[in-house]
Structure 1
Amino acid sequence: MTGTAPAQGAMTPAEFRETTARIADCMRQVIDGKDHAIHSALVVLLAEGHLLVEDVPGVGKTMLARALAASIDADARRIQFTPDLLPGDVTGVSVFDQANHEFEFTPGAVFANIVIADEINRSSPKTQSALLEAMEERQVSVDGHTHPLPDPFLVVATQNPLEMDGTYALPEAQLDRFMIRMSMGYPDAQAEALMLRQRDSVNPLSLIRPVVSLDGVARLIGFARSVHVSPRIEQYTVAIAQATRSHADLRLGASPRATLQLVRAAKAWAALQGRDHVLPDDVSGLARSVFGHRLVPTRQAVGGRRSADPVPRIIDQIVSQIPIPVADR
């Protein structure tokens, strides 16, 4: 998978802290009392992943994606996924130019730095699959020709729970391309009351101005990449991933892509915490968010538990059983 090319000039720790703090402050103007959601979005941005936000309607899923896009001076496009959306609407199509007597490629909405895939599970699986190549290889192939996507490239998708009417389950192959799945949750009483007062006459999104350029984003990503991961931390991450593949309650464990993305997310999280190295807690703390949507429980595991989703419990169990490595750098 290709990524953002290193920008000229290494970023200092002070610059990194200041810039990421400014992005977070911008997003807080729109997202009240949801620092966990803001931090997850920042981790995905810095680790060059993709973010899936799953929750009930009206809790700010799309606002989170739009706030992130508005905080960065980048090309951002929103795709409203509906049952009649076609793959060509996403990737683009070749149109015959009668003047030149040849086909000309017309880029689709996916050709942007930040793509907001709103309610992604309301479109058909065929249309959903149009994002597979784009999310993994950062390119689009149409009629035998390959077209590279802008750099950086980030998909922030929102979806409603599957039990809601008019939704289609995302296939495992597409879920595996999302680095983190998270939920917003309802705001607390104080944050909801503040929202009522602040948004009665103005849309806070209209007040956000970009605080970092594309070059700045590339430097942020480069800084996160430079975070050190010791061999013991790598072995610890691999041990967690391998344990998911042999667990009796799972019929699908974590893929090698998931292992790689867990390390990348841990590096980004460590950088946000002001460290130049990854700790075991960074890996174990992100395991649920990175692995949770990729693991498929057995029917017995689902049927024998009161909880509809036993995966978080299984991940916690696995993490608790893997010996924590002694820190070395």
Structure 2
Amino acid sequence: MGVTRTFPHLDHQRGLATSLQLRDAGWSGDAIRHAEGRTIQRVYPGVFAPHRGPMGPDDRLVAAHLWAGDGAVLTGRVALDRYGLPVSPLGNCLFLVPCTRRARRQADVATRRTARPVQVARHWEGLPVTTVAWALCDAAVLQGLTGEALRSTTIAALQRRLTHPRLLHDELAQRSTRGLRTVRAALQEFTEGAWSVPEAVLAELVRAAADLPPYLLNPVLTMPDGQVIGCPDGYFASAGVAVQVHSRQHHSGYDDEGRDLWSATVEKDATYVEHGIVVVPVTPSSIARRPEEVLERIRTVVRQNLGRDLSRIHVRQREIGA
């Protein structure tokens, strides 16, 4: 009668086990080889699942970490995806390992050596994940995250406070400029007030128009008694004109209290109007496809409202990262 062996169930491993863990549970090398392809499957060299069925992305991520070994820390695209950032992980896992280990690659997972102490910002099911700043730079330099995708991911990470401008600046200071020009530019755009790529693009258009007055990004507008009116995407203080970039993608759904986000956005525009502020709504698609038309509409509204007395409305620039 054959010996019945139990596949070990270990915390934070989603039912997976390494060959060493199987041996610790009483499996011999022959037993592992005999079971492979019959009752268990090899996910990566030395990493096994207790079944022969399909593996989901979460299971494969844990398997990849087991293959990478103790001390490996997730970085790059998959790390950004685990933070909820809008970047395609491409299914490629990248792990940082100490310089005493060798760099390896197996199918869709790789390890990269670093002499720097790796910062672990969070754990996902026991799997260590590095900081957003580090993962963002690795995704750009090592995994082909470029162009508008890199720009929007950088600004989104900052706007959602997944990282801080100072932390990203410090990470960039540790690296060469290769592959990171877009990250540096997006950081600069954010520190100047842009909270999204459409806002940054619009700011470039407006500030390039010599006939328009100063344009502030995301200022806080208040009444003399300190009552907050709102924080428009853009504001011409000399004309009392607010520019709002309205996107169904970012203003759809409901908040934690069950309020319709799109309705709340429209109602916020009405609050500006109640205080004498003229609102010019624009959309990301209009900015991208018809920039000159958008700029001319803004120019017309600003000209019509220059010189109005809005001294009762106080304007304060937001502190970066606040």
Q: Which has the higher contact order (CA 8 A, sep 6+)?
A: 1
- TM-score, normalised via structure 2 length: 0.27
- TM-score, normalised via structure 1 length: 0.27
Structure of larger gyration radius: 2
